[in-house]
Amino acid sequence: MNAGGHVFSVDLLERNGAKGHGFITCMAAGNDVILIGTSKGWLIRHDFGVGDSYDVDLSGGRGGEQPVHRVFVDPGGSHCIANVLHSGGTETYYTHAKWARPRVLSRLKGLVVNAVAWNRQQITESSTREVILGTENGQMYEMSVDEVDKKEKYIKFLFELTELPEAIMGLQMETASVGNAMRYYVMAVTPTRLYSFTGIGALDTVFASYSDRAVHFMELPGEIPNSELHFFIMQRRAKHFAWLSGAGIYHGELNFGAQHSSSGGDENFVENKGLLNYEKLGEAMKPRSLAVSEYHFLLLIGEKVKVVNRISQQIVEELKFDHAPDSVSKGIIGLCSDATAGLFYAYDDSSVFQVSTLDEGRDMWKVYLDTKEYAAALASCRSPLQRDQVYLMQADDAFSSKEYFRAASFYAKVNYILSFEEISLKFINISEQDALRTYLLRKLDNLTRDDKCQITMISTWITELYLDKINRLLLEDDPISLGNAPLGSSNAEYQSIIKEFRAFLSDSKDVLDEATTMKLLESYGRVEELVFFASLKEQYEIVIHHYIQQGETKKALEVLRRPNVHVDLQYKFAPDLIMLDAYETVESWMTTNKLNPRKLIPAMMRYTSEPHAKNETHEVIKYLEYSVHHLHNEDPGIHNLLLSLYAKQEDDSALLRFLQCKFGKGQVDGPEFFYDPKYALRLCLKEKRMRACVHIYSMMSMHEEAVALALQVDPELAMAEADKVEDDEDLRKKLWLMVAKHVIQLEKGIKRENIRKAIAFLKETDGLLKIEDILPFFPDFALIDDFKEAICSSLADYNKQIELLKQEMNDATRGADNIRSDITALAQRYAVVERDEECGVCKRKILSTGGAHQMRRGYLPVGPMTPFYVFPCGHSFHAQCLITHVTQCSSQSQAEQILELQKQISLLDGKVTKDAGTSTSGDSIASTISANNLRSQLDEAVASECPFCGELMIRDISKPFILPEESELVASWQIKPQVVTQKILPMSMSI
């Protein structure tokens, strides 16, 4: 412990602690606040947190010796309780850090208070909450004080030791929440006993429950002048305790979070109890005071303070104090601790010393290691080298005890002290291969990802050790069956090591070298593990090949169905798999959507080349039907293969259904069928599937061949084929004639019976064939009497047709006469124009004379009137007004055409006038005819319909009110807001 230096340091805090008020009798500390009691009844407070110090007189003005017997301060340093021994009795005082004067607790008058337990979890700066006081006569009281009240809220009697009345020398209290209630844990010590109290509810209820049950206590022999009880506090929670008793220091760990039962030993919240005998310390005297740190006890023995390690129970240090010259003989008289600040104080009759810890846990790992408390030692280690020493000692202990597997686990955690080779040789020298394997496995767990090379080498070594272990198990079970099916396979250990080995391969697949590992597995004959490892490394070809060799089709198909298996393996192994188990293979294909059926054709062809029973389900046909009907496959190869398989079946119903489906029909720019019709025809002819051939001929529009072949099979089929031709009447008649010839020539009964059947056949053609069409097919010596009825019927039909033609001719003649009458009437049609009729455009009268409207653009005047147009609807327009209106409302091209016609008419009219002024010639007549033609075109362009009632008006509805070229005009009409400045004039009012 001393290798790293001192654990505690001592500093003089106050030389004249009593400040002239006698000498120091007691002391307490909390939260950097110390309270010193003197022999003359004074209380001296030092607050190091704020740098403040003041004295409190508890003597009440009395002179003489009135020593402060005990002083207590809460962990926050705010509340103080002091017990003073006056000449007339004993008084107990309470004072607060903010009070100028203390208050006497009158109900405690005459009682000597030896111990106080604070409620560390509930206490606040302004309120003490529940406080327990222990007295000299073995009684316990509960008290609560609020700083604002300036007096105690209450003081209750709680409990009294009646079985063995002794002074209560130490008290400690801890609380824990249990649901909505509070559980109290209270420990009290007397010179010979340690009592434990616990319960849920208020304190008085908890102690009242002990009226009908025994109090749990621990009794130790021996007497001690000053029994003490101390809790070590960390983060406001008690971790362990120490009782300074006559037999020794009784100590242990505290567990207040455990769920204790409500009866029996519910007071047993102490764990890992122990007793430190004073004889172990080699001291004849018993300690007079005690302080507890995390790992040590500070014992005041005689006039010295010695530090004892709580774990090793050895004195590790003796504290040295710089006493005042007049107090050297007396030495230290007491110890106290400040749990909040983590400090300890020692005092003699005049001076106060501060004892500080200097990283007291730095060497605790050695202490725990010496006591073989390895878990605690590891928790106390500060460096990897320290942890190595702990692991090494654990490993050596286990190795010495021949617990090799446990030793291997600990050796694997050693990184610095022993090398990997030294540890491995330890197990090799004693032939502990299993322990070596365990060591290597654990070593792998402790390596980082950066140690790739070492990880690969160790993993390969472990693989070989596993294989060696498996072979040894097989040899132990049956040496002869090493390479065959082992009897050891039923052995539990064998099965366990196989399972463990496979788990290792699965975990190490990414670090093992693939080629090396496969060679190892192959050299040891572990085919199953080789397949397993190949599957882990996604070498699925090896795995599938193995399963096929073993005839395990289902397992091979399961591997192929894995998402990460490349689809090419499906095609590669398809021929072998379908020959092994066609049903399972095809079922697997049908559940795998990513397959291309065309690439499976070699496998299917191999399967179809083998003979099959008549009643056996043809698996290839089943898959091809699935591809065609469900997957909607359009591959010609698939359709051709399915058709060929259908053609080879005895029953041609499936073949005919397939041909009639027309899978390609209805697709845009697609074929009517996906199979090759020429191949299908050759195949069906070869297999003598005549009905199928007829169907194929029909689909290929080879109707004559279809009917000719159908007549060889079934005349009814031939009739059906002849009926299929609907768009070509001549071809249809020709086909029916072929059927008729065959039917007539086929009948070999008496001649009269043949004629009756032929006439019946004519009725089936729905009038397409007449008796005269089939007469050439009868022999020349047939009598006309046999056809009398049919010929008469045919003549009657012709007579009806002649009558219909006459009717149609008469209707046509009457129509022509009506047309001629309409043409004659049209020449005499006229319109009446009233004299006040207005032009629809300019609103001037139509019958106006002269002016600008008299002659414009080549229009010849009609007397004195301006040219005009009158429409059947009643609207009238001047010729020029109409032209102008139509030009404006028409498209640009139409307007240009109208203007061009006007221009040409004007030019021709001028030429005609010029020719007329000179002489009459053929050119003048030609010009007049041309002008009339142009006027007709102009009339057609502008006057084909009324502009107010025709399409021109309908188009105007869709035109916007404001044209795009009028945007500037629209913008000029916009109203813009103007800022008007208003002048406010003063207003005066007079009454």
Does a structural domain hold residue 280?
yes
pLDDT for res 130: 92
Number of domain units in the chain: 2
Q: Residue 87 corresponds to which tokens in the numbers above?
A: 């000449």
Boundary (domain end) residue, out of 325, 360, 395: 360
SS (H, E, C) 99-127: CCCCEECHHHCCCCEEEEEECCCCCCCCE
Does a structural domain hold residue 104?
yes
State the residue for tokens 């700066």: 125
Q: Residue 229 corresponds to which tokens in the numbers above?
A: 């009880």
Q: What is the dihedral of CA 68, 72, 77, 78, to 10 degrees?
A: -80
Mean pLDDT per 10-residue section of the chain, whose length is 991 residues: 71 88 93 93 89 85 84 94 88 91 90 94 91 95 89 91 92 90 92 92 92 89 88 89 93 76 55 88 85 93 89 90 69 90 91 90 90 90 92 93 92 90 91 91 86 90 91 74 47 88 88 89 87 83 84 85 85 87 87 86 84 70 86 85 82 79 56 76 80 76 71 68 62 64 57 53 54 52 52 67 84 85 74 86 80 46 72 87 86 84 80 60 68 82 85 79 76 70 41 34
Does a structural domain hold residue 245?
yes
State the residue for tokens 């394997």: 437
In terms of residues, how long is the chain? Answer: 991
Boundary (domain end) residue, out of 329, 360, 391: 360
Nearest residue to 113 (alpha-carbon basis) of 101, 131, 99, 130: 131
Q: Do 56 and 174 fall into the same domain?
A: yes
CA distances from 530 to 381, 519, 550, 576 (A): 45, 9, 14, 22
Q: Do 463 and 341 fall into the same domain?
A: no
Does a structural domain hold residue 542?
no
Q: How far apart are CA 178 and CA 181, in angstroms?
A: 5
Does a structural domain hold residue 96?
yes
pLDDT for res 769: 53
Q: Do 187 and 285 fall into the same domain?
A: yes
CATH number for 89: 2.130.10.10
Does a structural domain hold residue 531?
yes
Q: How far apart are CA 847 and CA 867, in angstroms?
A: 9
Q: How far apart are CA 758 and CA 763, in angstroms?
A: 9
Nearest residue to 249 (alpha-carbon basis) of 197, 299, 303: 299
Q: Do 355 and 451 fall into the same domain?
A: no
Q: For residue 275, with 0-12 CB atoms within 10 Å meaning exposed, 13-18 middle and 19 or more buried, which class applies?
A: middle
Whether 583 contacts 621, CB under 8 Å: no
Q: In sequence order, what E strands does 121-165 have?
A: 131-135, 139-146, 151-160
Q: Do 334 and 470 fall into the same domain?
A: no
Does a structural domain hold residue 638?
no
Does a structural domain hold residue 516?
yes
Q: Do 469 and 321 fall into the same domain?
A: no
Q: Residue 152 corresponds to which tokens in the numbers above?
A: 């105690």
Q: Residue 107 corresponds to which tokens in the numbers above?
A: 């109900």
Could you tell me the residue range of the domain that residue 471 belongs to? 447-476+491-537
State the residue for tokens 């007071």: 267
Q: How far apart are CA 843 and CA 863, in angstroms?
A: 21
Q: Do 356 and 451 fall into the same domain?
A: no
pLDDT for res 987: 39
pLDDT for res 916: 59
pLDDT for res 857: 47
Boundary (domain end) residue, out of 323, 339, 360: 360
Q: Do 110 and 242 fall into the same domain?
A: yes
- The DSSP line for 278-326 is GGGGT-SSPPSEEEE-SSEEEEEETTEEEEEETTT--EEEEE-----GG
pLDDT for res 258: 56
Q: Do 167 and 266 fall into the same domain?
A: yes
